[in-house]
Amino acid sequence: MSTRPVIEDEVRRFVLTSVPSVPYAEAVLLLRLHADKACTGSDVARALYISERAALELLQVAREAGVLEETTAGYRYQPRDEQLAKAWDQFAACYAANLIGVTQIIHSATHKSAHLFADAFKLRREP
């Protein structure tokens, strides 16, 4: 029986605050892996089996988060500072070692956010 590696609190916090979805994580990790070249929306779409529009949305969100830079040739992995680069390095190592555990955290955060959003629209009955 194999046990999954423990997900350290620092990585868990990073996932909960900075990784909105598994496709987002996969897109950033893809560009991190190919940091020496720019990737286009169609490159990411093909690699992740998603639409180009969805890929471009992920890339824009990552750019706005300071993880990627946009160039005339596409997007490049270029975290805004060393702290963010270190966080993505730790995330990448943890993701590779414990894919299921990390994706469960991402999904649980996404699920919780969806419920909070839905709860905001519930009609409340006056007592």
From first to last of its 127 residues, the chain has per-residue pLDDT tens of: 556 778 899 999 999 999 999 999 999 999 999 999 999 999 999 999 999 999 999 999 999 999 999 999 999 999 999 999 999 999 999 999 999 999 999 988 654 443 344 444 445 545 5
As a whole number of angstroms, the distance between CA 127 and CA 121 comes to: 18
Dig out the tokens for 104 from the structure: 């469960």
45 within 8 A of 54, measured Cβ to Cβ: yes
Identify the CA nearest to 36 among candidates 72, 65, 70, 78. 78
As a whole number of angstroms, the distance between CA 27 and CA 53 comes to: 13
As a whole number of angstroms, the distance between CA 19 and CA 16 comes to: 6
Q: What is the pLDDT of residue 107?
A: 86
Identify the CA nearest to 51 among candidates 127, 118, 59. 59
Amino acid occupying residue 25: A
